[in-house]
Amino acid sequence: MADQRTLATLSEILSQRLQRIYGSDDCLAKLMLKIEARTAAYQRTRKGRWDESDIILITYGDSLLQEGKRPLQVLNQFLRQHLADTFSAVHILPFFPYSSDDGFSVIDYRAVNYKLGTWDDVAQIAQSFDLMADLVCNHTSRQSLWFIDFINGEGEGKEFFVESDPDADYSSVIRPRTSPLIVDVYTRQGVKHVWATFSDDQIDLNFANPDVLIEMIDILLEYIVKGSRYIRLDAVAFLWKTLGSKCVHLPETHEVVKLMRDIFRWLDPGLVLITETNVPHEENISYFGSGDEAQMVYNFALPPLILHGLNRGNASYLTRWARSLPAFPAGCCFLNFTASHDGIGVRAVEGIIPKHEITDLIESVHQFGGFVSMKANGDGTKSPYELNISLFEALQGTRNGPDTFQISRFLCAQTIMLSLQGIPALYIHSLTATPNDLEQVELTGRTRSINRHKWQSDELNGLLCDPASDQSRIFSALTEIIKIRRSHHAFSPDASQEALVLSDTLFAIIRCDPHSGEQILCIHNLTAYPHEVHGIEKIPQQFTAAGCDELLTGKTVALHEFELAPYQCAWLVPSME
C-alpha cells in the first residue's frame, strides 16, 4: 500500500513539477485526488530493482492463435509451457480496443480488446511474469469517445486535442512519417484542423490542457494497480507542441516524464518507467535525465549497429559506439533489443554509420525481401526512417548476398545483445525464427506487417518439436543461452561494461559485477571466416595467464590459441583450475 504519510511530500514535489510545466499548480488538488484514490489499495510485490535474471519477451496479444481459445489464454499457455524458466517479464503490446496501427491507435485505454481476452486473462499472465504495458500517450484513435466529444463540442474530451492553423509554417517540425501533419475534421462547429503526428487516425492529445495529463496519470496508475510493473511511454518525444519549434524533446515533455517518475518513486521503487523514442542516439538517451526521468530507455542504436556489422563483417562501428557510451545514471539502464513489432529504425545511427553504408544496408534488406519506410523532412525531402523485415530474414546473408550461415549469424546477433549492459528484450518472432510475412503486407497494405506474423499455436508447437526446423534450432539455442546468462552476476544491468578494440572483425566486451567480482569476457566473430583472437595484449591478464572456461560450450580454452568459428560467440571466465 502506498504510504499515506508521504502524500504531503509527494504533493510538494508535484506542485513544483506542475509549475514548471504549466506556470501554476492549479490542477494539483485534482491530480492528488486521482493518485490517492487509485493507489489506496496498491500492494508492493517486488523486492529490489533488477538483476541478471531479468529478461523481457515482446509479443502481441494475438501473436499465437488457437481455435476456441482467447489469444491471451493461448499466450499464457505458451509462456508457461515453454518459457517459465527463461523470461522474467512479458511486454504485451497494446491490448486495448483500437482502430488502426495494430493497437497503437487506442479507442479505449481502460478496456481489454474483447478479441484478445479480458483483464482476468492479463492478470493470469501477470501472476507468473512481470508485465509491461504501453501508455500510448501522444495520440488516440479518432474513434475514441474523447474525439467524439471533440466533434460534438461537449463532454470530457472536447478540449483534449491540438487545433492548429493549416496555413501556418510547420517546416521546423520533426516528422516520423510522410502523412499530412494537420488533418481536417468535420465537427458540429464546422471544419477544424487538428495535429496528427503519425496518421490521420491517430490524433495528438493536447497536454497543454492539464486535464489530459491528469487523465493519463490515472490510466497509468490503473495499469499498475492491475499488475503492470513496467510502463512503456510510446512515442513520448512528440508529446508537447510549440509552433516554431521542432516539437520533439521539448522541456515540457521531459518535465512530464519526470512527474511520472516522481509518482513511481513514491508509490513503489520497483516500478520501471521506459521511454520509446526512435530518434538520434544522443537525443534518445536524454530521457535518462539526471537519473530523474526514465529508468530504462530503448537502445535504438543497437539493432541497426548489429545488423550493419553482420552485413559487412565489420565490428568497428559497433565497438566505437560501445566505447563512447557514457555511464548510466544510478538506477538506469538500456532496454536492449535487436528487433521489435516496428521496423529497425535507422535514425538512431545518424552520425554513427556513414550514409552510403546505410544505403548499402537498405539494398541488402530489399534483396532479402524487406522494405524501407521514409520520414518527411522540413525541407520537403524524405529520408529513411526504418527497415521493415523479419530479422531472421535480414540475416540470411551479407552485402554479398545469401549464404549458408543464416542460423549462426542470427544467433550471433542475439548473443551480442544478450552480452551487453542493460536488460535484454527479445521479440517473439526472433525467438521463433519467423520469416517475412509478405501475405500480411499485401493484406494490410502496411510494410510493418512483414514482421507481425500470427502463428497458429499447433503449427508452431509442431515446428518446435522438429529438431530440423529453423524454429526449433533457434528457439532451443536461444533459450539455452538465456538460461546461462541468467545464472551469472556479471550480466546484471548494474555490472560494468568495457568494450575492447581487438580487431575490425571481433566485437569484444568485458562485463564485471562489482559485488561478486565475477568477470566475463564476451567475444563475437562478425564474419563468415574463422578468426583467432587478435590483440591479446589488450585483454586483462586474468583471462590470458591461464585457460578460460567458455560458458556457451562448456569447454576450456587458451586465448592465445583460440580460434572462433564463423559467427561464433564466446563467453569466457578465468578457469578455476
Phi, psi of 296 (to 5 degrees): -130, 140
The DSSP line for 316-358 is HHHHHHHHHPPPPPTT-EEEE-S--SS-EE-GGGTTTS-HHHH
Tell me the C-alpha distance between 214 and 195, whole Å.
Answer: 20
| Single-letter code of the amino acid located at 117 | G
* CA 244, 249, 253, 258 torsion-angle sign: negative
Helix, strand, coil share of the chain (percent; to 5): 40, 20, 40
The catalytic residue among 234, 268, 437, 513 is 234
Count of C-beta atoms within a 10 Å radius of residue 304? 24
Q: How far is CA 476 from CA 43, 82, 136, 553, in A?
A: 37, 10, 34, 14
Q: How far is CA 317 from CA 150, 305, 307, 353, 354, in A?
A: 49, 7, 11, 7, 10
Rg (CA), the chain: 24
Q: Which residues does the annotation place in the binding site for substrate?
A: 101, 139, 232-234, 341-342, 448
CA atoms within 13 A on the CB side of 209: 15
Q: CB burial class (10 A; 0-12, 13-18, 19+) of residue 441?
A: buried
Q: How far is CA 300 from the centre of its chain?
A: 8
Give every CB contact of residue 559 below 8 A, 6+ residues apart in sequence. Answer: 533, 536, 539, 543, 544, 548, 572
Tell me the C-alpha distance between 506 and 527, whole Å.
Answer: 8
**Residues 131, 229 contacting (CB under 8 angstroms):** yes
**Residues 296, 331 contacting (CB under 8 angstroms):** no
- CA-nearest of 11, 60, 496 to 262 is 11
Based on the residue annotation, tell me whether 234 is a catalytic residue of this protein. Answer: yes
Supply the residues annotated as catalytic. 234
